[in-house]
Amino acid sequence: MQSAKKHLRQLSPEELQQWLAAEGEPAYRLRQLQQWLWEKGARSLHQLSNIPQKLREKLHQHFALEPLEVELRQQASDGTVKLRFRTHEGLLVEGVLIVTEERVTACISSQVGCSLTCAFCATGRMGRLRNLRSDEILDQVHLLREEAQRLGRQLNNIVYMGMGEPLLNYREVLHSLQVLTAPQGLALSPRRITVSTAGIAKLMRRLADDGVRVRLALSLHATTDEQRSRIMPINEENNLSAVVSALRYYQEHTGSRVSFEYILFSNFNDTLEDARRLVGLCAQVPMVHVNLIEYNPVPGLFFEASDAATTQRFQDFLQRHGIPTTLRRSRGRDIDAACGQLATQGLLHSS
Ligand code: SF4
């Protein structure tokens, strides 16, 4: 059961300020609380050491906190760390810290499960249990940031590419982005944040209209409607023409970098004919970047990864046609932390 109380960390600065003023608190309390709740990611009122005990008790009476807890930590042989988080009612979601020489990236979830049933994705088989609140999304960032610090590294990038479709949890994702980029939040540059979507055209446009300036990645994975609908049912209502034009709209209105994500599946979308059509789609979105992704087979699903020679040939073709392309090698494979592998067995904790 969700608490009937309002969640403390979901309040806007204005709401928190109003509540503090009504309680007769001095103006500087707002800044102190903001630092604890959004900058430092405090997940318990006990941590608020410079807030008087009496005020902490009032906060406890009026508001809920319900933070995510870490239920399981796994580290892969390549250094990737996967955390399994437990919500207060026992649901499980996952986040991943991807550590390379150049950067440290937190891959976070926006929903418990996902309603979109992409055929190649483990999460899609779970269905959607609920949306995460913005503070639960931010808890993942704070907990993964602590993991990075334990490794002696600093978190540089955040990608919304874990469980769920971020744009189907629009309001909470938007609020989390505002806290991540606000000077009184984590003050991250929007260039360090990527939201990845399976493609919901009207919400991609709305992101631009709402003043969001993060990077936007479109999970493309196919170059014709017939082919894409076979693996991504969302394509029935948001076809290629609609999502590609929405991506262009986002780029034009925000000036932010946009990308096509393209998982290479053997004998499905990895021929030179596919590459040629992909070049055609790229021509519709100037400066779009292509991330080619190595697939991680999911037990029980039908897809296989393209082999190294085919992958190379595909990438070479794009680059010869002037498309900026990066090959994303699979990481964290031995702990099921790679793209498309985030799905928590059991889902409900047994407590
Ligand atoms: S790929 Fe993303 S949008 Fe598709 S089912 Fe998986 S989590 Fe949902």
Q: What is the dihedral of CA 282, 283, 289, 295, to 10 degrees?
A: 20
7-64 architecture in CATH? Orthogonal Bundle (1.10)
Q: 3-class secondary structure for 74-107? A: EECCCCCEEEEEECCCCEEEEEEEEECCCCEEEE
pLDDT at 333: 65
Residues 6 or more apart whose Cβ sits within 8 Å of residue 197: 165, 166, 167, 203, 204, 216, 217, 218, 219
From 118, 204, 261, 265, mutation site for ligand 1 pocket: most ligand atoms within 8 A of C-beta: 118
Residue 257 to residue 265: CA distance in whole angstroms: 25
Q: Say if CB 175 and CB 134 are below 8 A apart.
A: yes
Residue 323 to residue 329: CA distance in whole angstroms: 18
Question: What lines the ligand 1 site, CB under 6 Å?
Answer: 114, 116-118, 121, 123-124, 163-165, 198
CATH 3.20.20.70 fits 69-335, yes or no: yes
- For ligand 1, atom 4, name the residue with the nearest CA: 118
Pairing of strands 111-114, 127-131: antiparallel
Domain ranges across the chain: 7-64, 69-335
Q: Cα-atom radius of gyration of the chain, to the nearest Å? A: 21
> What ligand 1 atom has the least distance to the C-alpha of 114?
8
Regions of the chain where pLDDT drops below 50: 345-351
pLDDT at 96: 95
What is the 46 CA–ligand 1 centroid distance (Å)?
37
From 109, 120, 123, mutation site for ligand 1 pocket: most ligand atoms within 8 A of C-beta: 123
> Is residue 114 flagged as an active site residue?
no
Do 69-335 and 7-64 fall under one CATH topology?
no
> Is residue 136 flagged as an active site residue?
no
pLDDT at 341: 58
Residue 39 to residue 180: CA distance in whole angstroms: 9
Q: What is the pLDDT of residues 130-179, one digit of tens each?
A: 999 999 999 999 999 999 999 999 999 999 999 999 999 999 999 999 99
> Structure tokens of 147?
């993991």
What is the 78 CA–ligand 1 centroid distance (Å)?
24
Q: Say if CB 194 and CB 157 are below 8 A apart.
A: yes
> What ligand 1 atom has the least distance to the C-alpha of 162?
7
pLDDT at 349: 33
Q: What's the number of CA atoms in the CB half-sphere (13 Å) around residue 177?
A: 26
This prediction's pTM? 0.93
Residue 22 to residue 16: CA distance in whole angstroms: 10
